[in-house]
Amino acid sequence: MTSEALENLLHEERHFEPSAEFAAQANGTAALYDAAAADRLAFWDTQARELISWDAPWSEVLDWTNAPFAQWFVDGTLNVAYNCVDRHVEAGYGDQVAIYWEGEPEGESRAITYADLQAEVNQAAHALESLGVRHGDRVAIYLPMIPEAAVAMLACARIGAVHSVVFGGFSSEALRSRIEDAEASVVITSDGGYRRGKASALKPAVDDALDAGAESVRHVLVVRRTGQDVAWVEGRDLWWHEVVGQQSTEHTYTAHDSEHPLFILYTSGTTGKPKGIKHTTGGYLTQCAYTHRNVFDLKPDTDVYWCTADVGWVTGHSYIVYGPLANRATQVMYEGTPDTPHKGRLWEIVQKYGVTIFYTAPTLIRTMMKWGADIPAGYDLSSLRLLGSVGEPINPEAWMWYREHVGHNSCPIVDTWWQTETGAIMISPLPGVTSTKPGSAQRPLPGISADVVDDLAQSVPDGGGGYLVLTEPWPAMLRTIWGDDQRFVETYWSRFEGLYFAGDGAKKDEDGDIWLLGRVDDVMNVSGHRISTTEVESALVSHPIVAEAAVVGASDEMTGQGIVAFVILRGDAHEGADTVKELRDHVAKEIGPIAKPRQIMIVAELPKTRSGKIMRRLLRDVAENREVGDVTTLADSSVMDLIKTGLSGDGD
Ligand code: WT7
């Protein structure tokens, strides 16, 4: 964000009081803030008891004696699948729809009740056990947005296996490294899924990953979705419908320790190697359920909830699978892209199911703005009563557009700040309580403690800016980085003594409300997806013609940030007409299409300090077409002239 845009933001004077009507029926009340402020741990104790069913109670709400390694609800035991499925059936809600699944090809849909879900999860749990998956074993899930993704996750949770969902848009290379890091013994995938009108292929990527390594894998379970031909390794590969379909629909669960790992989810850090974020059971589920209930104001008997994320990201874990299902939500799950087969597809789905709560990302809202307000105007969106946003700062214009053209000027908007690491929402308005401001996530939720500090870890006064930190442990916090406690401590807990460093810049306005300003590290945010500059640089230099590469995130009107790469070719490599295309495709192959640079510039030199550090700030100036800033620390001050005059090879 430019400083000018920032100044405008902080002078935002519009605010929207909750309507009396909404406030009167809201789950969240001002009393929650008071209760949490009076006794934070007692507050979480209450949430855990009221929202979750436990098999054994805890002896202590929080054990923080070995900080920053937390234990929540110590000695408590529970089963996440029981909480998300069975208990609702037991309570008489077996016929309630859990998931309205909408395939991308129009006319393909399924309605799955809680009773259906119970039968499928139980069968899948047996199937995994029959393949030798035991408590604590890791299972990789590489699926499109089909109900089996949720079923597979819940089946793992039921038997205490640790799932590692890998976004279906990641490459075979990315999949291989994640399988290897977690040492998964089973991969659950599908023949493909529908994206942009075409059947994508997933199974071939799994085959490639297993050919290249990933030796821990014994079995691949393949869901049939598209019916396309797939290669088959006898003995290793098994059809889901054959293995799962033949199992009993009854399964007796065991309760797991509150701190038993529920899942690992990989996310980009500032170095090339993705971090396996480890989440555990009791605290995670408690905070997912609590935030989903209060931030989205869920009324399980009447609401139809829809989160447009993919289960491959943390938003899909916490707000498609665990939070909503723990709260007995009826929700929509959509397989495809928003513009297939036409640009009104999402609104058509809202109309079809009478969606009441809609949760999406700013990049999608900006895309919708570009397509024009007449598209949502063509559908009946009157069922909507609450809108949410997540993934990156939402610019006030997009917020206002969302409110007017989707939320008919009456839906409260919740801008929710959180991270893969936080596991659940941390900073957000409470609908019905908070007077909202377009562009600000505002306050930590009741039970959560956050602050903005300066370089010396001092809390900044209202009106000041600095780094966002979390000042107290929270139930859904990551417990560590899988297999790398030291990196966990260094990344999050070493910058400021005793504080969790989120990696985001932030400001407090005159009222003390928080405005998020984007990452302060080498992590880019492209369409709400986290990609590290070093990860893309490593992918580029793994190509034989590349000698050196530097990558920056340049501001982008649609995607928030766009990836811009500066590349030096090897001495003997000649730049051909297709060099840029080849390099972009290479990055897609190494990481996935989401990491394809928007632009690649072939340059002769890179700007470096005397100690050899690449000065990304200057490259960002070039990428954003700005006057290049202070160059006095450059080892060779003529380099920037060279780059500016010698630019070639714009991407498409
Ligand atoms: C980073 C975390 C949390 C699920 C999706 C992304 C940015 C996220 C907001 C928001 C401003 C936001 C931050 C954060 N971010 N939500 N409402 N306002 N920034 O999860 O991939 O772990 O990325 O996304 O920069 O650190 P993630």
pLDDT score recorded for residue 633:
77
Residue range 339-377, pLDDT digits in tens: 999 999 999 999 999 999 999 999 999 999 999 999 999
Q: Does residue 220's CB lie within 6 angstroms of at least one atom of ligand 1? A: no
CA of 526 to the centre of ligand 1 (A): 11
- In angstroms, the Cα distances linking 427 to 11, 203, 506, 516 are 20, 38, 12, 10
Atom of ligand 1 nearest to the CA of 425: 3
Structure tokens at 347: 């609104």
Respond yes or no on whether the N-terminal peptide bond of residue 341 is cis (omega within 30° of 0): yes
Respond yes or no on whether the N-terminal peptide bond of residue 144 is cis (omega within 30° of 0): no
CA of 269 to the centre of ligand 1 (A): 13
For residues 100-118, average pLDDT:
97
Q: How confident is the model at residue 650 (pLDDT cuts 50, 70, 90)?
A: very low
Atom of ligand 1 nearest to the CA of 528: 6
Judged against a pLDDT cut of 90, whether residue 11 lies above it is answered with no
CA of 528 to the centre of ligand 1 (A): 7
Q: Does residue 392's CB lie within 6 angstroms of at least one atom of ligand 1? A: yes
Q: Are 567 and 581 in contact (CB under 8 A)?
A: no
Residue range 122-181, pLDDT digits in tens: 999 999 999 999 999 999 999 999 999 999 999 999 999 999 999 999 999 999 999 999
Atom of ligand 1 nearest to the CA of 415: 17
Q: What angle do CA 520, 524, 530 make, to 5 degrees?
A: 115
Q: Whose CA is nearest to atom 2 of ligand 1?
A: 419
Which residues neighbour 636 within 8 Å (Cβ) at sequence distance 6 or greater? 605, 608
Q: Report how far residue 385's alpha carbon sits from residue 525's, in angstroms, rounded to the nearest whole number.
A: 29
CA of 570 to the centre of ligand 1 (A): 37
Atom of ligand 1 nearest to the CA of 428: 17
DSSP state of 9: H
Kindly write down the DSSP assignment for every residue of 154-218, as one continuous string. Answer: HHHHHHTPEEEE--TTS-HHHHHHHHHHHT-SEEEEESEEEETTEEEE-HHHHHHHHHHS-TT--
**Percent with pLDDT over 90 in the chain:** 88
- Higher pLDDT: 146 or 651? It is 146
Q: Does residue 419's CB lie within 6 angstroms of at least one atom of ligand 1? A: yes
Q: Out of 265-274, 308-317, 338-347, 390-399, pick the least confident.
A: 265-274
pLDDT score recorded for residue 555:
92
Q: Are 313 and 529 in contact (CB under 8 A)?
A: yes
Q: Does residue 172's CB lie within 6 angstroms of at least one atom of ligand 1? A: no
pLDDT score recorded for residue 632:
77
> For a pocket test of ligand 1, which of 314, 320, 416, 419 has the largest count of ligand atoms closer than 8 A to its C-beta?
419
**Percent with pLDDT over 70 in the chain:** 97
pLDDT score recorded for residue 652:
38
pLDDT score recorded for residue 631:
79
Q: Are 471 and 446 in contact (CB under 8 A)?
A: no
Q: Are 171 and 590 in contact (CB under 8 A)?
A: yes
Judged against a pLDDT cut of 60, whether residue 1 lies above it is answered with no
Residue range 221-239, pLDDT digits in tens: 999 999 999 999 999 999 9
**Three-state DSSP class for residue 5:** helix
CA of 418 to the centre of ligand 1 (A): 5
Q: Does residue 340's CB lie within 6 angstroms of at least one atom of ligand 1? A: no
Mean pLDDT across the chain: 94
Burial 527-562 (b: 16+ CB within 10 A, else e): bbbbbbbbbbbbbbeebebbebbbbbbbebeebbbb
Q: Does residue 594's CB lie within 6 angstroms of at least one atom of ligand 1? A: no
Q: How confident is the model at residue 5 (pLDDT cuts 50, 70, 90)?
A: low
Judged against a pLDDT cut of 70, whether residue 7 lies above it is answered with no
Q: Which of 277-291, 590-604, 637-651 has the highest mean pLDDT?
A: 277-291
Atom of ligand 1 nearest to the CA of 427: 17
Q: Does residue 495's CB lie within 6 angstroms of at least one atom of ligand 1? A: no
Q: Report how far residue 281's alpha carbon sits from residue 287's, in angstroms, rounded to the nearest whole number.
A: 10
